[in-house]
């Protein structure tokens, strides 16, 4: 299960792309170039990266309102994503979707989802397709601690067990759903224990550690691909920023906020990989430079891009009406 | 031509399309007929027997019994559709839409638009509606207005065995999400239905009676009543056109407007409470686009603004009757 | 926890009333005097009786489509119930509700419910009222094995734990939801284990044994009334008839059907109580005669009663519109 | 008179009614403002700050943060209402109605009728709707038509701070379930609002402009636009009446019909897709009950039959604009 150098570089590139993308989103949002609101994934990079690392374009994920990281980890291009988030022509969804509705079917990215608990039932269906077609591929539903209490999520767990579909429920537990702590909102002892009681194996890993998430997913994939039905993986994460960009987070104490920042998945990966001399710090830095340049260029290009043609307002409602 | 029931016509469309296309699967509560039981699984085929015989024929991979979890049923069907299957999900009674509506209008219906045209969601939701079974307030609604208003959905209301088969065949072959609203009071109605598969296109009204004195527009289970009313009126020398748009979305506006050009008088029969109803929708079409043709107030024959009552006499008074339709037409003359 | 003679008589009377009522419903249904469909409670009498035995009119229950037994156990009068089920004037709900919507607020019966999973959220609210008013009373939600998979039921469990309301989730597991077996539809090891994983104590009792159910409820009530939040009680029952009256039940094998009948809560109660000489067989029989006479008279009166006035079609939609 | 925002007006009504009546409780996601956090719980007061300050004042028994479980939120509120409390439940965005609709239309709204008049359900569901925030297809809908059609529900759409306070006060004191639909684009709009509590009755339209050339009926966030259109038209010498029914159910039909008697020309402005909309509903009222008064086709100014797009220019084109209202009125002249 040791990753080779290319794999490590790929993981680093993905995590950094998410980091750079979200930092840029934060900045663009402050500049007013991103309409609406933005929920960024800062602090959770290792979770999405680790979960998607061994997935192919033929495996599918359903995502959440906090979906940028999932998109990037699943292979969506940052150029199209920035265009989309800024509501521009050429965006991944033609500017019609926005931050909470990025999807890229060719990459197996079935959509961010602005309805909390919206994705798990859909992912059950994707997994059903995989099962019926005997592809060996899987579907993953990302949900948060908050979303874990939504009826749709809970019944999707039972449905997945009953239909024995190759699906992984990933619970990214960042401790908060909006302003309310998971300590309060989740009555169960833990998300993974509750999931296990639905009749599937469940594990909980340090979501700030790419290697832990990746190892957890390996086990999950093994179980799921063997036709044993679904699996649940909780990744315990830190949410660096507030619920949305601009949330002052007074409901979190300053100590807690400071502590969250210390569990930085990007720094932890860098330290671990360089200390173990798996990759040289120069290699890591070179990738960082390249990634940041690409992200910045994508953002700048998106800023300058045109809005969608007004004629598109009424297209794409139906394949044919 | 064989004479079969509305129920059987639906069953036949399902069977033929499943045989034709391996991507077509059924899922829902008891559509197979009792998974996990110690007896003869597949002996039932849905609570109304509509899917009977399909489980024995196609097996548990294609006829999937589910837990009672409608959000997961519809959501999974949507997810399967968007990844390449062509699921027909059963929402047993349309009244249950409240526990899974999000997966219909916010998810399946919006995928394509939100994703800039990238998604294709060939999903059919079969469900049944309507009063008359003495089933009470939570099992007797129609609710087609809240479906018709959803951009991205198509809504079908078959009123005869022939239409049921042709429209369902079309729905299964359609690439957009379709809600197929069966009228439970029609399941035992029989009519001529060709053995072989055929499609009835969406958005094309059926003209059941042709007359120049007035136009009646009716949907689903109200169509036979509208026809009965027209026949009664004909005996009194009043000749009315009866239009069944067959799909409420898309709606054959042209057929309605053309008929109004001829008759100038409109009655809409809608088995639903009056507010924001399909009756109101058609009336609005008329007064916004056929105003000059209109010669009289539009007659709206709907249910009252109340839940569906249980007591048989109250329920009978609740649903638009032939007598009320006749009266409404006369009022326009 | 030993019941005295009066209490035993009360339990017997309740169970028998349910039995007689439902047998009469079966018969009336065959006669065509009951419109629509009827889901009877035959075989489950001990469950509703045991659950409601220590409840007062100020405790509340939310029920299901199979609610006649719950109504009777909670104190609704059979006269009004028959009138209601036959859609007659004078019915408990004026004939507007029918079998699946019987309610009697004065008795703490918040309604049968034709939506599977409809009651649990409502019962959470009733329990919230009890909690906020510090009454010491409780709310109970009845659900079946089938209903246990509905998202509304599942999220109500978490909500009840989080709000720490005095509520008991009663899962009447009769092995089937319509035609589908619980073995298939419930992915969890057991209903009580899944409920426990939500963060509340849960127990499972023999629902064919009044004494077991009653003892289980005593524990549940103790926990709940002490302000410890909700409790889950599974009662394992037999469903004598099909899902609705007239269901031929081909999906159940003949052995299973026969076995179901052997676990007869009424016979078991009679045997146990008479064998232990707690009540004499004559006493039991006398009550039976009396109960059956009352039920038969109620049914006959309801048959003869008038339909509701047509003017009531549009009343009772609002308190004031 | 103090000048406060629409947001503050709602907050004030909540605070005053909570102070007046101990049975009034609030529940919903983050309405308290972050239960269980290590910081200053109660610093927020809902995602839009509407309930700010109420948690510190009334405590966790009366301002109840909940998990993200809308069926349980609305259902629990309905259950609390029917057992004697007067809950105000928040459904954050009306778009989320799909995950809890059953508890609204099949449960709370039907209790009274199904139970033969025995239940009393003084429940208020506060929720917000409407486009303009660049929030995308699942956070920008209005959905009032599907609420208006439900027998047993009352539906309120306040269009100003004054109305918001008076109508919410009325809603909380009302004995029936009420959906109180706030327009998120109006939260920062300011207006004169009396300090003390007052009620605005349901079913009484507000006349914002009085003119005899045409009638504009508008709801919620469309009301200011209708007024702006009227003022522009006035400059050209066209005098229109602007009616804001304030509640869509009950609807002040009389006010609309009376105005049509005078003007004979009607434009309805409705921020929703056209099918089975409130626009259609009002047009149907006109053509069924004021046919003789009508002098021109009814103008329907609605959104297109599409989900709400995200891109700012598309979203702006989506919502009925002042220009489109002006044009629609001119077309009727
Ligand atoms: C059905 C529904 N309810 C509420 C919301 C509002 N909302 C958006 S994100 C969110 C919190 C979700 O928390 P969690 O699942 O923990 O995800 P996180 O934001 O922490 O990534 C809420 C309440 C919503 N979008 N959909
Ligand atoms: C939301 C919803 N889905 C489906 C149904 C149809 N239905 C009525 S009862 C029932 C089975 C319920 O099973 P269970 O909870 O085990 O109760 P039981 O009938 O065994 O008492 C079903 C599927 C319904 N009424 N409501
Ligand atoms: Mg979270
Ligand atoms: Mg059962």
pLDDT at D26: 98
Active site amino acids of D: 139
Is-contact B48 B183, C-beta < 8 A?
A: no
| Test site for ligand 1: of D89, D92, D133, most ligand atoms within 8 A of the Cβ | D92
Which chains touch C (3+ CB pairs under 8 A)?
A, B, D
**C-alpha to C-alpha distance for D284 and D291, rounded to whole angstroms:** 10
Strands of A60-62's sheet, edge to edge? Answer: A60-62, A139-144, A167-173, A231-236, A202-206
pLDDT at D177: 98
Is-contact C112 B310, C-beta < 8 A?
A: no
Report residue C11 as tokens.
């339990």
Tell me the average pLDDT across D23-37: 95
Which among A43, A33, A46, A16 is positioned nearest to A243, based on CA atoms?
A43
CB neighbours of residue B28 within 10 Å: 26
Tell me the average pLDDT across D211-224: 98
User: Are D43 and A186 a contacting pair at CB < 8 A?
Assistant: no
**Number of alpha carbons in the 13 Å side-chain half-sphere of residue A134:** 1
- pLDDT tens digits for range D278-309: 999 999 999 999 999 999 999 999 999 999 99
Tell me the average pLDDT across C60-70: 98
Tell me the average pLDDT across C115-125: 98
Domains of chain B as residue ranges with CATH: 3-192 (3.40.50.970), 206-332 (3.40.50.920)
Looking at the complex, report in whole angstroms how far the Cα of residue C61 sits from the nearest Cα belonging to chain A.
Answer: 22
Which among D271, D323, D263 is positioned nearest to D295, based on CA atoms?
D263
**C-alpha to C-alpha distance for C46 and C59, rounded to whole angstroms:** 19
Chain C interface mutation, best of A124, A148, A151, highest count of C Cβ atoms under 10 Å: A151
Report CA-CA distances (Å) from D106 to B315, C89, C112, D151. 17, 23, 12, 10
Q: Are strands C231-236 and C167-173 parallel, antiparallel or unpaired?
A: parallel
Report CA-CA distances (Å) from A104 to A70, A78, A84, A92. 11, 12, 12, 7
Which among A47, A104, A44 is positioned nearest to A75, based on CA atoms?
A104
Share of chain C above pLDDT 70, in %: 100
- pLDDT tens digits for range B258-293: 999 999 999 999 999 999 999 999 999 999 999 999
Alpha helices (H) in chain D, listed in sequence order: 6-20, 54-58, 70-82, 101, 111-114, 144-148, 161-173, 222-235, 253-263, 278-289, 312-318, 322-332
Is-contact C200 C158, C-beta < 8 A?
A: no
For residue C111, the 8-state DSSP code is: -
Q: Separation of A146 CA from ligand 1 center, angstroms?
A: 6
- pLDDT tens digits for range D224-281: 999 999 999 999 999 999 999 999 999 999 999 999 999 999 999 999 999 999 999 9
- pLDDT tens digits for range B307-329: 999 999 999 999 999 999 999 99
pLDDT above 80 for A239:
yes
pLDDT band at B42 (very low <50, low <70, confident <90, very high): confident
pLDDT at A290: 98
Which chain D residue is nearest to residue B248, measuring alpha carbons?
Answer: D275
Mean pLDDT lowest for which of A102-106, B41-45, C244-248, D278-282?
B41-45
Report CA-CA distances (Å) from A211 to A1, A221, D47. 10, 15, 35
Is-contact A137 A130, C-beta < 8 A?
A: yes
User: Are A310 and D67 a contacting pair at CB < 8 A?
Assistant: no
Mean pLDDT lowest for which of B35-49, B114-128, D15-29?
B35-49
Residue B307 φ/ψ, nearest 5 degrees:
-60, 170
- pLDDT tens digits for range C12-21: 999 999 999 9
- What ligand is nearest to the CA atom of residue B65? 2
- pLDDT tens digits for range B169-188: 999 999 999 999 999 999 99
Q: Separation of D47 CA from ligand 1 center, angstroms?
A: 11
Strands of B299-301's sheet, edge to edge? Answer: B206-209, B240-244, B214-218, B266-269, B299-301
Report CA-CA distances (Å) from B147 to B97, B98, B153. 10, 12, 7
Listed by start position, the domains of chain C span 5-302
**Helix (H) or strand (E) run with residue C260 in it:** helix C254-262
Q: Do you find a cis peptide bond into B250, omega within 30 degrees of 0?
A: yes
Whether residue B139 lies in the annotated active site:
yes
Looking at the complex, report in whole angstroms how far the Cα of residue B12 sits from the nearest Cα belonging to chain A.
Answer: 23
CA D294, D296, D301, D305: dihedral to nearest 10 degrees? 100
Q: Which residues contact B6 (CB under 8 A, 6 or more apart)?
A: B158, B160, B161, B164, B182, B183, B186, B187, B188, B189, B190, B191
Q: Separation of C176 CA from ligand 4 center, angstroms?
A: 4
Report CA-CA distances (Å) from D72 to A151, A265, D29, D95. 9, 36, 11, 17
Per the prediction, chain B carries an average pLDDT of 98
Tell me the average pLDDT across C159-170: 98
**C-alpha to C-alpha distance for C152 and C115, rounded to whole angstroms:** 10
Which among D137, C113, D11 is positioned nearest to B99, based on CA atoms?
C113
pLDDT above 90 for C171:
yes
Identify the residues whose C-beta falls under 6 Å from ligand 2: B 29, 68, 70, 92, 96, 99; C 39, 64-66, 114-116, 143-147, 174, 176-178, 243
pLDDT above 60 for A1:
no
Which among C255, C261, C267, C260 is positioned nearest to C209, based on CA atoms?
C267
Within the 185-214 window of chain C, which residues sit less than 8 Å (CB to CB) from chain B? 185-186
Tell me if residue D330 falls in helix, strand or coil: helix
User: Are C101 and B29 a contacting pair at CB < 8 A?
Assistant: no
Supply the residue whose CA is at minimum distance from atom 17 of ligand 1.
A144
Q: Separation of D15 CA from ligand 1 center, angstroms?
A: 26
Tell me the average pLDDT across B229-247: 98
Please provide the distance, in angstroms rounded to a whole number, between the alpha carbons at the two ends of chain A: 51
Burial (CB < 10 A; 0-12, 13-18, 19+), residue C272, is: middle
Tell me if residue C57 falls in helix, strand or coil: coil
Is-contact C202 C263, C-beta < 8 A?
A: no
Report CA-CA distances (Å) from A86 to A29, A79, A241. 9, 11, 20
User: Are A158 and B83 a contacting pair at CB < 8 A?
Assistant: no
**Helix (H) or strand (E) run with residue A130 in it:** helix A119-133
pLDDT at C2: 85
Which chain A residue is nearest to residue C158, measuring alpha carbons?
Answer: A187
pLDDT at C1: 54
* Residue A93 forms contact with B (CB below 8 Å): yes
pLDDT at B34: 85
pLDDT band at A2 (very low <50, low <70, confident <90, very high): confident
Q: Which residues contact C6 (CB under 8 A, 6 or more apart)?
A: none
User: Are C184 and A197 a contacting pair at CB < 8 A?
Assistant: no
CA B166, B170, B171, B175: dihedral to nearest 10 degrees? 180
- CATH topology for A5-302? Rossmann fold (3.40.50)
Is-contact C112 C63, C-beta < 8 A?
A: yes
- Shortest-distance atom of ligand 2 to CA B139: 25
């Amino acid at each position: 299960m040791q990753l080779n150098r290319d794999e490590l570089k790929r993981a680093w590139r993905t995590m950094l792309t998410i980091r750079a993308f979200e930092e840029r989103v934060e900045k663009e949002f402050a500049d007013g170039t991103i309409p609406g609101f933005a929920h960024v994934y800062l602090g959770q990079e290792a979770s999405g990266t680790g979960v998607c690392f061994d997935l192919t374009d033929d495996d599918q994920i359903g995502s959440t309102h906090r979906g940028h990281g999932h998109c990037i980890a699943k292979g969506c291009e940052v150029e199209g994503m920035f265009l989309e988030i800024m509501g521009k022509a050429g965006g991944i969804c033609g500017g019609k979707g926005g931050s909470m509705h990025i999807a890229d079917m060719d990459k197996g990215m079935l959509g961010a989802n602005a309805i909390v608990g919206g994705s798990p039932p859909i992912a059950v269906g994707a997994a059903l397709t995989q099962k019926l077609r005997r592809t060996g591929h899987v579907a993953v539903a990302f949900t948060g601690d908050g979303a874990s209490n939504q009826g749709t999520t809970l019944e999707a767990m039972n449905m997945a067990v009953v239909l024995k579909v190759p699906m992984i429920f990933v619970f990214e537990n960042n401790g908060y759903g909006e302003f309310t702590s998971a300590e309060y909102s989740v009555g169960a002892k833990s998300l993974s224990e509750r999931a296990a009681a639905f009749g599937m194996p469940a594990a909980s890993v340090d979501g700030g550690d790419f290697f832990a998430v990746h190892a957890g997913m390996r086990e999950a994939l093994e179980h799921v691909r063997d036709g044993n039905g679904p699996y649940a993986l909780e990744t315990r994460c830190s949410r660096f920023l507030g619920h949305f960009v601009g949330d002052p987070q007074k409901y979190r104490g300053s100590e807690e906020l400071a502590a969250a920042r210390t569990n930085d998945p990007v720094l932890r990966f860098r330290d671990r990989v360089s200390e173990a001399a798996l990759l040289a710090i120069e290699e890591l830095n070179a990738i960082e430079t390249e990634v940041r340049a690409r992200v910045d260029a994508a953002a700048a290009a998106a800023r300058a891009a045109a809005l969608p043609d007004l004629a598109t307002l009424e297209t794409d409602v139906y394949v044919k009406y | 031509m064989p004479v079969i029931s509305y129920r059987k016509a639906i069953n036949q469309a399902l069977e033929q399309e499943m045989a034709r296309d391996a991507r077509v699967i059924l899922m829902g509560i008891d559509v197979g007929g009792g998974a996990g039981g110690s007896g003869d699984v597949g002996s039932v085929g849905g609570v109304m027997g509509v899917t009977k015989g399909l489980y024995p024929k196609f097996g548990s991979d294609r006829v999937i019994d589910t837990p009672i979890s409608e959000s997961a049923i519809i959501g999974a069907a949507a997810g399967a559709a968007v990844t390449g299957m062509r699921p027909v999900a059963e929402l047993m009674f349309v009244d249950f839409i409240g526990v899974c509506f999000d997966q219909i209008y916010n998810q399946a219906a919006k995928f394509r638009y939100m994703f800039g045209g990238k998604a294709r969601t060939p999903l059919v939701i079969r469900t049944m509606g309507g009063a008359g079974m003495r089933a009470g307030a939570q099992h007797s609604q129609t609710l087609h207005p809240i479906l018709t208003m959803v951009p991205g959905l198509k809504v079908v209301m078959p009123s005869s065995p022939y239409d049921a088969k042709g429209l369902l065949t079309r729905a299964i072959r359609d690439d957009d999400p379709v809600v197929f609203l069966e009228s439970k009071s029609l399941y035992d109605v029989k009519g001529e239905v060709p053995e072989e598969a055929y499609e009835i296109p969406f958005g094309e009204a059926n003209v059941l009676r042709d007359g120049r004195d007035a136009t009646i527009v009716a949907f689903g289970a109200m169509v036979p009543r509208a026809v009965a009313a027209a026949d009664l009126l004909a005996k009194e020398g009043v000749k009315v056109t009866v239009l069944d748009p067959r799909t409420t979305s898309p709606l054959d506006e042209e057929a309605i407007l053309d008929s109004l050009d001829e008759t100038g008088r409109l009655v809409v029969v809608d088995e639903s409470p009056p507010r924001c109803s399909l009756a109101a929708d058609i009336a609005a079409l008329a007064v916004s686009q056929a105003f000059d043709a209109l010669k009289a107030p539009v007659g709206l024959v709907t249910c009252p603004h109340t839940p569906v009552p249980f007591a048989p006499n109250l329920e009978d008074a609740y649903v638009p009757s032939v007598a009320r339709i006749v009266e409404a037409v006369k009022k326009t003359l």
